[in-house]
């Protein structure tokens, strides 16, 4: 396999020819994206204010309209009424849906976590009975995991299922909260413990089953059009045939589906981010202060250019990983694995990248949405402007699909575990770089090109990450996860590395293929991003070093980190101005 395994990017390089970039979408993928854009323009954007008033019926009807167009079946095999598109296509669809504020939350919850547990882990009868209707929009799905006292620690949930004396059904009791689509979902994927089991099982419950009680919608900061409520299950009789998979499989199902939800959220926020950038530049190109358009001001250009750089880097990283997942899906299916299991196994394999991209994506959107409000000034604080809603709606993404704090821990822990299991050799290079930290820096070679330089810098950044991982693992051992501040530092370094490398590979491939006539703009993005990454990595690495090692060893690490993050200066002002000037000229995000 030409693709790297999950987390292996820390120790190996990828050739630009081996990454997928969004400029390579085929005609069918572009057509699906356009269908979504047309649907949003015609059916969604005219009613967003009405949806934000919490109109359950209107949201339900809008989601079902998307189903009638086939948009809810993009990930579903043809035999269950779907279109069985590639994972890249699914992610492209998620990106474009992401511009839809609350609608995107309702849509993605149904098509993702509300449908795919049944698709991936259900049996043929369950797929025919439920997935076909979920794919068409006849049914809308919900995912019911969180409880009042079981959030990030999902396995501590108290919802219980007892097998009836005649063995025909389970009697399920419990309470779920923060359930997206609760107000109108037809099917619920509910996680509960059977009898005295220590681990969860998963069940399909229909909203009309006796004992299902839906609470009122929560009053939320954002995504106000999304129905979010508590659901109470009081002696609900669940047929035994509605158990998904086997007893005790629920926790595995929940974790696998969360990996999928995380990476799709990373795609979702791209659409919201691009919309916020377009809203920003359109306003900046109309608003005058001191008899000048504010788009001519250097500070505004800085903000818009940084919005673009971060969004373009996120998009590069998302679709790089999505293509890797597609390749693994094909391999697993070719080996004879059931297509549903092959899909979720491939997604679950890239757990490191899923957690990383969820964190990075949600924080990119938060930055973009915040600066969009700032560019609008006082008007950005007014509910008349789209950026006000975008700002409020963006905030949930750092909490959805596992908080960013949990995901930062997961991405480091999972990468280390993968290395220890032998998926790839992390311990060897990490120990080697740690022992030789004074001399492991890779220096400039004669005739080095622009791209060679940036990729060399990134290789040096990887050495920083590996030195930190080795030092922290040796110092804290099994207690490493208790040192959450250090884990956060390492995760921040990994995020900077993966996003910078993904951006570098994309821009290099663009340059090699002549797909962009204005390639210098993209090289400006790369130059600024890699330069800024050096500073962010330096700060996090030094903090981790002095939080991990004794003073003398930390001083030694400090010198190595300083050397490994030492890069040539970049005129970031002019580079950002060139990026912003292009954005201002086209008056929308079109990179």
Other beta carbons within 10 angstroms of residue 50's beta carbon come to: 13
Q: Is the pLDDT of residue 1 over 70?
A: no
Angstrom distance (rounded) from CA 90 to CA 268:
11
Instruction: For residues 461-470, give the mean pLDDT.
Output: 97
Q: Is the pLDDT of residue 295 over 70?
A: yes
All structural domains of the chain, each given as residue ranges with its CATH number in brackets, are 8-140 (1.10.540.10), 143-244 (2.40.110.10), 250-405 (1.20.140.10), 426-586 (1.20.140.10)
- Sort 580 into a burial class: Cβ within 10 Å, 0-12 / 13-18 / 19+: buried
Q: What is the pLDDT of residue 150?
A: 77
Phi, psi of 354 (to 5 degrees): -60, -45
Other beta carbons within 10 angstroms of residue 296's beta carbon come to: 16
Q: What is the pLDDT of residue 333?
A: 93
Direct distance between the N- and C-terminal alpha carbons of the chain, in angstroms, rounded to an integer: 30
Number of H helices, E strands in the chain: 20, 10
Other beta carbons within 10 angstroms of residue 162's beta carbon come to: 15
Residue whose tokens read 């959030």:
151
Angstrom distance (rounded) from CA 321 to CA 30:
19
Phi, psi of 114 (to 5 degrees): -85, -20
Phi, psi of 471 (to 5 degrees): -60, -45
Phi, psi of 514 (to 5 degrees): 55, 35
Angstrom distance (rounded) from CA 434 to CA 302:
38
Angstrom distance (rounded) from CA 152 to CA 150:
6
- Tens digits of per-residue pLDDT, 11-40? 999 999 999 999 999 999 999 999 999 999
Instruction: For residues 138-167, give the mean pLDDT.
Output: 89
Cα–Cα distances in angstroms (integers) from residue 468 to residues 54, 391, 540, 547, 563, in the given order: 48, 35, 10, 11, 15
Q: What is the pLDDT of residue 32?
A: 96
Is residue 211 within 8 A of residue 236, CB to CB? The reply is yes
- Among 103-107, 156-160, 458-462, the range scoring the smallest mean pLDDT is 156-160
* Residue 339 vs residue 181, higher pLDDT: 181
Angstrom distance (rounded) from CA 320 to CA 318:
6
Phi, psi of 204 (to 5 degrees): -100, 120
Establish whether 124 is a catalytic residue.
no
Q: What is the pLDDT of residue 340?
A: 84
Q: Which of 118, 97, 109, 122 is nearest to 45 (CA)?
A: 97
What is the total residue count of the chain? 591
Q: Which of 29, 10, 5 is nearest to 460 (CA)?
A: 10
DSSP codes joined into one string, 78-129: GGGTS----HHHHHHHHHHHGGGTHHHHHHHHHHTTTTHHHHHHS-HHHIII
Residue whose tokens read 């572009």:
30
Q: What is the pLDDT of residue 420?
A: 83
Q: Is the pLDDT of residue 133 over 80?
A: yes
- Tens digits of per-residue pLDDT, 39-89? 999 999 999 999 999 999 999 999 999 999 999 999 999 999 999 999 999
Q: How far is CA 177 from the centre of its chain?
A: 22
Q: Is the pLDDT of residue 152 over 80?
A: no
3-state secondary structure 233-264: EEEEEEEHHHEECCCCCHHHHHHHHHHHHHHH
Q: What is the pLDDT of residue 370?
A: 98
- Tens digits of per-residue pLDDT, 478-488? 999 899 999 99
Angle (CA) 558-564-567 rounded to 5° is: 120
Which residues lie below 8 Å from residue 308, measured CB to CB, with a gap of 6+? 277, 525, 579, 580, 583, 589, 591
Phi, psi of 88 (to 5 degrees): -60, -45
Q: How confident is the model at residue 315 (pLDDT cuts 50, 70, 90)?
A: very high
- Sort 545 into a burial class: Cβ within 10 Å, 0-12 / 13-18 / 19+: buried
Helix (H, G, I), strand (E, B) or coil at 437: coil
Is residue 458 within 8 A of residue 500, CB to CB? The reply is yes
Catalytic residue among 306, 401, 568, 585: 401
Q: How confident is the model at residue 2 (pLDDT cuts 50, 70, 90)?
A: low
Strand partners, 193: 160
Is residue 133 within 8 A of residue 69, CB to CB? The reply is no
Instruction: For residues 221-227, give the mean pLDDT.
Output: 95
Q: What is the pLDDT of residue 156?
A: 79
Instruction: For residues 421-434, give the mean pLDDT.
Output: 92
Instruction: For residues 180-193, give the mean pLDDT.
Output: 97
Strand partners, 205: 188
3-state secondary structure 570-590: CCHHHHHHHHHHHHHHHCCCC
Other beta carbons within 10 angstroms of residue 520's beta carbon come to: 12
Among left, alpha and beta (phi > 0; psi -120 to 50; other), residue 209 is: beta
Which residues lie below 8 Å from residue 507, measured CB to CB, with a gap of 6+? 451, 519, 522, 523, 525, 526
Which residues lie below 8 Å from residue 272, measured CB to CB, with a gap of 6+? 98, 99, 101, 104, 365, 369, 390, 393, 394
Instruction: For residues 190-204, give the mean pLDDT.
Output: 94
Instruction: For residues 286-296, give the mean pLDDT.
Output: 95
Q: Is the pLDDT of residue 425 over 80?
A: yes
Is residue 507 within 8 A of residue 525, CB to CB? The reply is yes
Q: Is the pLDDT of residue 246 over 70?
A: yes
Q: How confident is the model at residue 515 (pLDDT cuts 50, 70, 90)?
A: confident
Angstrom distance (rounded) from CA 526 to CA 529:
5
Q: What percent of the chain has pLDDT over 90?
A: 94
Angstrom distance (rounded) from CA 370 to CA 391:
6
- pTM over the 0.75 mark: yes
Angstrom distance (rounded) from CA 282 to CA 254:
42
Q: How confident is the model at residue 423 (pLDDT cuts 50, 70, 90)?
A: confident
Q: Average pLDDT of the chain?
A: 95
- Tens digits of per-residue pLDDT, 532-577? 999 999 999 999 999 999 999 999 999 999 999 999 999 999 999 9
């Amino acid at each position: 396999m030409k693709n790297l395994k999950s987390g292996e990017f820390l120790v190996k390089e990828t050739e630009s020819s081996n990454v997928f970039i969004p400029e390579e979408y085929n005609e069918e993928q572009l057509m699906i994206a356009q269908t979504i854009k047309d649907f949003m323009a015609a059916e969604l954007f005219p009613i967003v204010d009405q949806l934000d008033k919490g109109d359950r019926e209107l949201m339900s009807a809008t989601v079902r309209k998307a189903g009638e167009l086939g948009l809810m079946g993009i990930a579903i095999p043809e035999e269950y009424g779907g279109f069985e598109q590639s994972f890249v296509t699914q992610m492209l669809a998620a990106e474009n849906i992401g511009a839809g504020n609350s609608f995107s939350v309702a849509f993605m919850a149904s098509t993702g976590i509300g449908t795919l547990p049944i698709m991936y882990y259900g049996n043929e009868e369950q797929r025919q009975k439920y997935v076909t209707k979920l794919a068409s929009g006849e049914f809308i799905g919900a995912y019911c995991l969180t409880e009042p006292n079981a959030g990030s620690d999902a396995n501590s949930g108290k919802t219980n299922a007892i097998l009836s004396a005649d063995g025909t059904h389970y009697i399920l009791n419990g309470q779920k909260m923060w359930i997206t689509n609760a107000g109108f979902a037809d099917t619920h994927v509910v996680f509960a413990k059977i009898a005295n089991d220590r681990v969860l099982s998963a069940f399909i419950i229909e909203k009309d089953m006796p004992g299902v009680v839906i609470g009122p919608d929560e009053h939320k900061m954002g995504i106000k059009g999304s129905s979010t409520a508590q659901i109470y299950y009081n002696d609900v009789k669940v047929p035994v045939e509605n158990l998904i998979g086997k007893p005790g499989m629920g926790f595995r199902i929940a974790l696998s589906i969360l990996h999928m939800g995380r990476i799709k959220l990373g795609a979702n926020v791209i659409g919201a981010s691009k919309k916020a950038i377009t809203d920003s530049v359109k306003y900046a190109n109309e608003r005058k202060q001191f008899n000048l358009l504010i788009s001519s001001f250097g500070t505004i250009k800085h903000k818009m250019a940084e919005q673009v750089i971060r969004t373009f880097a996120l998009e590069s990283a998302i679709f790089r990983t999505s293509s890797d997942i597609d390749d693994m899906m094909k391999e697993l299916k070719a080996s004879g694995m059931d297509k549903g299991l092959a899909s979720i196994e491939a997604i679950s394999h890239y757990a490191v990248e899923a957690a990383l991209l969820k964190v990075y994506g949600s924080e990119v959107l938060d930055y973009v949405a915040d600066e969009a409000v700032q560019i609008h000034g006082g008007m950005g604080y007014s509910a008349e402007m789209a950026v006000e809603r975008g700002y409020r709606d963006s905030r949930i993404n750092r909490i959805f699909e596992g908080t960013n704090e949990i995901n930062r821990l997961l991405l480091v822990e999972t990468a280390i575990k993968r290395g220890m299991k032998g998926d790839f050799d992390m311990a060897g290079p990490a120990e080697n770089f740690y022992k030789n930290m004074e001399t492991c820096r890779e220096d400039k070679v004669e005739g080095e090109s622009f791209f060679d330089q940036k990729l060399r810098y990134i290789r040096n950044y990887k050495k920083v990450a590996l030195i930190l991982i080795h030092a922290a693992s040796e110092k804290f051992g099994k207690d490493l996860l208790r040192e959450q501040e250090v884990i956060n530092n390492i995760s921040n370094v990994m995020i900077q590395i993966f996003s910078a490398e993904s951006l570098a590979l994309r821009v290099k491939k663009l340059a090699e293929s002549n797909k962009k006539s204005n390639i210098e703009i993209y090289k400006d993005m790369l130059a600024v991003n890699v330069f800024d990454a050096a500073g962010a990595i330096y700060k996090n690495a030094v903090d981790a070093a002095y939080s991990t090692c004794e003073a003398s060893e930390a001083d030694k690490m400090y010198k190595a980190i300083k050397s490994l993050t030492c890069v040539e200066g970049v005129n970031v002002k002019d580079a950002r101005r060139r990026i912003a000037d292009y954005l201002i000229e086209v008056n929308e995000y079109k990179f």
